C-alpha cells in the first residue's frame, strides 16, 4: 500500500472532520461524579446569588438617608425594631427613623438600604441606636444578584468540570449536570516480538510497553479504556480483534506494525474492515501513523516506539477525543526561551520534549526509542515544518504535559 502522507496539521483536521459527537452520547451526572467531564449544555442560574440583599458586617440595617449629616457629635437616633440573625428571614420592615440589629450575612429587611457598623453605634438602655457615622445607600451590603444574576450562564457548554465549578453549582442548588459520556478507547498491541509486561522476556523480544502506556494516558484524559492485549503479526487475528474493538469502542488504537516494512499489516486490515484516511504524517517522531474508520469507530495505527506513540496519542488522537466530547477550550500553552539551539531540517514538523526551568525551556534530544525521556520532560514544543531549527534564546510555545 502506498504511503499517503499528510502534514501534522492536516492529520488533526482530517480525523476531526470525519467524526462527530452523537446526540445519544450524553448523560446526567450528579455533582459528586462530574469532575473531569465535559458539560453538554450551557448551565444557567435559576436564581440570583445572593438571593437577597445581605449585610457584610455586624451592625444596624436602616435607611441611609436617616444617617445623612450624622457625626461624632451629632449622632442619628433610630428606634431598634428587632434583630436579624444570619439564616433568618427578615420579616420586620424598616421605616424612616427605624433600624434592625443585623449580623454579618444577615438578610436586609424591607425598607432598609444600608448597614451602619456596630463599632460606629451605641445602644441606649431604652432601645435607641445612636449612629455616629453617615452611611451611603447600599454601604456594607452585598446586593441581590451581585455574584450571579438569575438567568445568567454560569458554565458554558463544552467546559471541562473541575472542583472550582462545584461551588457555583451548589450555590445555585444544581445537583445534576448534563455531560457527554466518556469516550471508550480500545487498545491493541501488535507484533510477534512483543511480550506482556507481566511475563519474563526472552532476550531479543521486547515488553509490551504501549498497552499500559496508552491506556494510562487515555484514562488520565478522561476516557474509558479497554486493553485487547497483544495480537500476533497475522492478518486474521488482527482483523478479528480490530472488528471486536471497533464494535465496542469509539476509538481504537493499534500500536506497532505501522511502518511501511514487510510486517506492515495494520493499514491493510483497516482498509479491509473499513477505510483508511491517511497513512503517514510528516512529523518527527510519529511518521508511520495511520488514521481510518472501521464501522463507527475511529481507528489509529500508532508507531511502535513508545515515546512516538505517546506523543501522537497526546496530539492527534486527543484532538479527536476533544471533538467527540465537545470540549471547548484552547489548550493551555506557555512561552519560554530555549536554552539551546535545535536543528531540524526535515521538511516536517518536529515534536521536541522540553524541561522547564525557571521560565526557560531545555530541549531533550530525541531518539524515538527513548522511553525514559518523557518522565523527565515537562512538556513539548513543535518546530514548524518550514523552519530549519530554532535558536538558543528564541521564544517558544510550550505545551505542558
Nearest approach, Cβ of residue 399 and its own copies (Å): 13
Could you say which of 18, 157, 184, 207 contacts its own copies (CB under 8 A)?
A: 207
With respect to its own copies, which residue has the nearer C-beta, 124 or 175? Answer: 175
Nearest approach, Cβ of residue 70 and its own copies (Å): 26
Taking CB under 8 A as the criterion, which residues in 354-383 touch its own copies? 356, 359, 367, 369-375, 377
Does 2 interact with its own copies (rule: CB under 8 A)? no
With respect to its own copies, which residue has the nearer C-beta, 77 or 356? Answer: 356
* Helix (H/G/I), strand (E/B), else coil: 291: strand
Q: Return the biggest CA–CA distance within the chain.
A: 101
Taking CB under 8 A as the criterion, which residues in 3-42 touch its own copies? 31-32, 35
Could you say which of 1, 74, 96, 170 contacts its own copies (CB under 8 A)?
A: 170
Does 194 interact with its own copies (rule: CB under 8 A)? yes
User: Rounded to whole angstroms, how far apart are CA atoms 151 and 292?
Assistant: 43
Could you say which of 11, 90, 298, 324 contacts its own copies (CB under 8 A)?
A: 90
Residue 236's contacts (CB-CB under 8 Å, 6 or more residues apart) are none
Closest CA to 15 of 368, 223, 233, 298: 298
With respect to its own copies, which residue has the nearer C-beta, 298 or 336? Answer: 336
Does 213 interact with its own copies (rule: CB under 8 A)? yes
Helix pair angle (318-325, 8-18), 10° resolution: 30
Compute φ and ψ for 253, nearest 5 degrees.
Answer: -110, 125
Could you say which of 7, 103, 237, 344 contacts its own copies (CB under 8 A)?
A: 103
Does 86 interact with its own copies (rule: CB under 8 A)? yes
Taking CB under 8 A as the criterion, which residues in 283-322 touch its own copies? 304, 306-307, 310
Does 401 interact with its own copies (rule: CB under 8 A)? yes
C-alpha cell at 6: 499528510
Does 54 interact with its own copies (rule: CB under 8 A)? yes
Could you say which of 4, 22, 123, 162 contacts its own copies (CB under 8 A)?
A: 162
Nearest approach, Cβ of residue 372 and its own copies (Å): 5
Closest CA to 334 of 240, 266, 399, 393: 399
C-alpha cell at 289: 501513523
Compute φ and ψ for 299, nearest 5 degrees.
Answer: -120, 135
User: Rounded to whole angstroms, how far apart are CA atoms 76 and 320?
Assistant: 68
Does 215 interact with its own copies (rule: CB under 8 A)? yes
Taking CB under 8 A as the criterion, which residues in 217-276 touch its own copies? 217, 219-220, 259, 261
Taking CB under 8 A as the criterion, which residues in 322-361 touch its own copies? 332, 334-335, 356, 359
> Sign (positive/negative) of CA torsion 300, 304, 310, 315?
negative
Could you say which of 5, 128, 130, 168 contacts its own copies (CB under 8 A)?
A: 168
Does 107 interact with its own copies (rule: CB under 8 A)? yes
Closest CA to 256 of 350, 188, 198: 188
Q: How far is CA 110 from CA 54, 95, 147, in A?
A: 12, 9, 21
Nearest approach, Cβ of residue 22 and its own copies (Å): 27
Binders of its own copies: how many residues, by CB under 8 A? 82
Does 58 interact with its own copies (rule: CB under 8 A)? yes
Could you say which of 5, 117, 171, 355 contacts its own copies (CB under 8 A)?
A: 171
Three-class SS of 146-189: CCECCCCEEECCCCECCHHHHHHHHHCCCCEEEEECCCEEEEEE
The secondary structure of the chain in percent helix, strand, coil, rounded to multiples of 5, reads: 20, 35, 45
Nearest approach, Cβ of residue 243 and its own copies (Å): 25
6-8-14 Cα angle (round to 5): 65
CB atoms within 10 A of CB 300: 26
With respect to its own copies, which residue has the nearer C-beta, 125 or 261? Answer: 261
Nearest approach, Cβ of residue 357 and its own copies (Å): 11
Amino acid at each position: 500500500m502506498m504511503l499517503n502522507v499528510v502534514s501534522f496539521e492536516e492529520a488533526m483536521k482530517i480525523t476531526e472532520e470525519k467524526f462527530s459527537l452523537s446526540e445519544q452520547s450524553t448523560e446526567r451526572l450528579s455533582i459528586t461524579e462530574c469532575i473531569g467531564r465535559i458539560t453538554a449544555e450551557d448551565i444557567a442560574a435559576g436564581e440570583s446569588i445572593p438571593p437577597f440583599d445581605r449585610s457584610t458586617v455586624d451592625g444596624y440595617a436602616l435607611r441611609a438617608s436617616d444617617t445623612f449629616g450624622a457625626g461624632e457629635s451629632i449622632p442619628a437616633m433610630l428606634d431598634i425594631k428587632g434583630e436579624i440573625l444570619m439564616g433568618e428571614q427578615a420579616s420586620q420592615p424598616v421605616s424612616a427613623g427605624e433600624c434592625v440589629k443585623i449580623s454579618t450575612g444577615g438578610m436586609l429587611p424591607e425598607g432598609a438600604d444600608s448597614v451602619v457598623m456596630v463599632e460606629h453605634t451605641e445602644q441606649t438602655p431604652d432601645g435607641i441606636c445612636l449612629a455616629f457615622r453617615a452611611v451611603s445607600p447600599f454601604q456594607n451590603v452585598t446586593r441581590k444578584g451581585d455574584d450571579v444574576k438569575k438567568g445568567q450562564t454560569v458554565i458554558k457548554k463544552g467546559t471541562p468540570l473541575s472542583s472550582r465549578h462545584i461551588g457555583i453549582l451548589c450555590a445555585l442548588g444544581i445537583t445534576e449536570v448534563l455531560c457527554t459520556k466518556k469516550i471508550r478507547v480500545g487498545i491493541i498491541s501488535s507484533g510477534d516480538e512483543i511480550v506482556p509486561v507481566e511475563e519474563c522476556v526472552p532476550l531479543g523480544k521486547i515488553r509490551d510497553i504501549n498497552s499500559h502506556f496508552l491506556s494510562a494516558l487515555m484514562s488520565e484524559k478522561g476516557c474509558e479504556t479497554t486493553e485487547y492485549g497483544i495480537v500476533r503479526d497475522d492478518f486474521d487475528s488482527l482483523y478479528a480483534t480490530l472488528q471486536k474493538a471497533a464494535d465496542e469502542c469509539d476509538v481504537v488504537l493499534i500500536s506497532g506494525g505501522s511502518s511501511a516494512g514487510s510486517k506492515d499489516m495494520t493499514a491493510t486490515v483497516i482498509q479491509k474492515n473499513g477505510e483508511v484516511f491517511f497513512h503517514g504524517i510528516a512529523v518527527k517522531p510519529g511518521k508511520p501513523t495511520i488514521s481510518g474508520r472501521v464501522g463507527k469507530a475511529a481507528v489509529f495505527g500508532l508507531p511502535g516506539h513508545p515515546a512516538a506513540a505517546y506523543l501522537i496519542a497526546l496530539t492527534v488522537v486527543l484532538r479527536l477525543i476533544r471533538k467527540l466530547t465537545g470540549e471547548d477550550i484552547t489548550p493551555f500553552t506557555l512561552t519560554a526561551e530555549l536554552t539551546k539551539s535545535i536543528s531540524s531540517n526535515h521538511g516536517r514538523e518536529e515534536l521536541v520534549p522540553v524541561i522547564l526551568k525557571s521560565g526557560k525551556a531545555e530541549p531533550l534530544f530525541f531518539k524515538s526509542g527513548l522511553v525514559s525521556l518523557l518522565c523527565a520532560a515537562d512538556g513539548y514544543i513543535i518546530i514548524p515544518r518550514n523552519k530549519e531549527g530554532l535558536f538558543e534564546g528564541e521564544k517558544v510555545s510550550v505545551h505542558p504535559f
